[in-house]
Structure 1
Amino acid sequence: MLTRAQHLFDEATRVTAGDSRWQGQTSDDYWAFVGPFGGATAATLLRALIEHPERSGDPLSLTVNYCAPIAQGAFDLDVRLVKANRSSQHWCVELTQGGGEVATLATGVFAERRPSWSHQPAEFPKAPPFEQILPYPRIKASWANQYDFRFVEGYPDFSGAKSDALPASTFSKLWIADRVPRKIDMLSLMSMSDAFFARVFHTKRELMPFGTVSLTTYFHTDADDLAREDISRVLAVADAKIFHKSYGDQNGELWSPNGRLLATTTQIAYFKA
């Protein structure tokens, strides 16, 4: 059982196996403005899959659809192995509250990664070292204060000040680490893939009603490779391509300081502006 002496992220994503359903609990430490931080929710679902006794292989992808608001408190997880073959497994996870109403629906793919030809056409983004950049100040959302954000490009300006430069750039480049250092693993990669501030906040330079609708993260490393990286931070880049009729996209990359692409992510989100 986890204790307060362990990292807050591990407490926030803790799951308990039951007879037919697993259980979890929202965390005040990873709370957003009106609900739990989506990255922590996604990591909780991934933890349930990783810890499932029938799981084989490492995460290859996880898609999370946020169907309804998650209330503060306990929730149930219905974890099902949908299909398995020699090299991959396909899983489904439903997060329910209030007598069975589905609040979050996820599908995950696990795979046995075997030695093969490797090639990384993507180039590592240039950036000053983490230690040379000042941390972003704390904000009202508690989840964001669990991370140490150090912006290289696209420093957030949410003042709403009028400017001829609006709409501003949607691009961000930043280092992300847990404020209390924690070694990067698959769970933290999953959570950090949703830790970018909303692209619409950047381009409008103001906060507004916003929520992720669907998030997919692809993992380009396995647990053993990631352990060998032995890192506590990632270099992250994010951008957007379109905002139209209340919805906008986001695409992102998470890099090891050693120059390895660890994960890519894309999402569609609602906004009101």
Structure 2
Amino acid sequence: MDARVDDSIHPFDAATRVELLGGRWQGATSDDYHAFVGQFGGATAATLLRALMAQPERTGDPLAFTVNFCAPIAAGRFDLTPRLIKATRSTQHWGIELTQGGDDVEAFATAVFAQRRETWSHRPAEMPQTASYDEAPVYSRAGVAAAWVRQFEFRFVENEPSFGAGTQAGPASPHTKAWIGHAVPRTLDLLSLSAIADAFFARIFHVRGELLPIGTVSMTTYFHVDAADLVAEPITAVLGVADANVFHKSFSDQTGELWSPSGKLLATTHQITYFKA
């Protein structure tokens, strides 16, 4: 669980790199984070958030971050258009669009940045009882077609997926617990959390016991820590707890929690996902 430092650029940082070229912010997809169709949504989310955090006018750290995925992102470069919508003394509201082929919007996001101040604090949420990181076996990713899965290490402690050739006799539980970190160890920061928030396997995979066509439509992540909190407690993996409430007429929800090994709730996430079954 201790953070390790490597002088070479991490695959996650390379995949989510942004730069200002000719007056426009740009990024590019990475083969390392390819999904079944287009790029892994977590990598896209982290790239959008990185671009917003790179803005010179930005103050504070992300508090709420919503990404809407309009279409699969084709391999190659894309343009990013950030905009400061409104700023107050404590918060900033930003928007950003990802376009390819001119004005074709493939994804867009809104983010609230906040300057957290020391004040009264109370954490009634309690970390679920579970096996520790060291006690949990590493999930085998052998044969997994989606490249992005190989960029993360999963250690399931409850409801490890078992993908069969057909549907199960009945729906299984959508609830899972798993330790999740980068496959190449990396100290987790807010960008990592924004990507891991989408690293849960689709709930319908667990419920049906098979791989089906799916796609995240919209995802919101709420951050309960700032950058300084993560620096004070450097970690390389979180306990991810995920569940779902409804599968109905081609769409399902997903809820998720990201916990530090010390029992601190770092982020919560909610998303709506398309499925074909």
* TM-score under structure 1 length normalisation: 0.96
Task: Judge conservation of contact 2:158–2:177 (CA < 8 Å) in 1.
Answer: yes
1:42-73 alpha-carbon deviations (Å, 9 max, x no partner): 00000001111110000001100001121000
With 17-26 and 33-42 compared, the bigger mean Cα shift is at 17-26
Q: Which residue of 2 aligns with 1:222?
A: 226
Q: Which residue of 1 aligns with 2:192?
A: 188
With 122-131 and 242-251 compared, the bigger mean Cα shift is at 122-131
CA distance in 2, matches of 1:45, 1:12: 12
Q: Which residue of 2 aligns with 1:72?
A: 75
Match of 2:172 among 168, 172, 175: 168
Q: Which residue of 2 aligns with 1:148?
A: 153
Deviating beyond 2 angstroms after TM superposition, the runs of 4 or more aligned structure 1 residues are: 18-21, 160-164
Q: Which residue of 2 aligns with 1:96?
A: 99
CA distance in 2, matches of 1:122, 1:258: 13
Shift of 1:18: 3.5
Match of 2:57 among 49, 54, 59: 54
1:81-132 alpha-carbon deviations (Å, 9 max, x no partner): 0100110000000000011100001000000000111111111111112122
* Matched residue type, 1:261: L
Structure 1 residues 123 and 52, CA gap change in structure 2 (3 angstroms): same
Structure 2 alignment gaps of length 5 or more: 1-5
Q: Which residue of 2 aligns with 1:117?
A: 120
Shift of 1:232: 0.5
* Matched residue type, 2:154: F
Shift of 1:163: 4.0
Give the 3-state SS of the residue equivalent to 2:47 in structure 1. helix
Shift of 1:136: 1.0
Shift of 1:20: 4.0
Give the 3-state SS of the residue equivalent to 1:227 in structure 2. helix
Structure 1 residues 133 and 91, CA gap change in structure 2 (3 angstroms): same
Question: Is 1:266 aligned to residue 270 of structure 2?
Answer: yes
Structure 1 alignment gaps of length 5 or more: none
- Identity among equivalent positions (%) equals 60
CA RMSD of aligned residues (A): 1.3
Task: Judge conservation of contact 1:79–1:94 (CA < 8 Å) in 2.
Answer: yes
* Matched residue type, 1:88: T
Shift of 1:22: 0.5
* TM-score under structure 2 length normalisation: 0.95
Shift of 1:21: 2.4
Give the 3-state SS of the residue equivalent to 1:144 in structure 2. helix
1:182-201 alpha-carbon deviations (Å, 9 max, x no partner): 00000000000000000011
Aligned length: 270
Q: Which residue of 2 aligns with 1:135?
A: 138
Task: Judge conservation of contact 2:168–2:208 (CA < 8 Å) in 1.
Answer: no
Shift of 1:160: 3.9
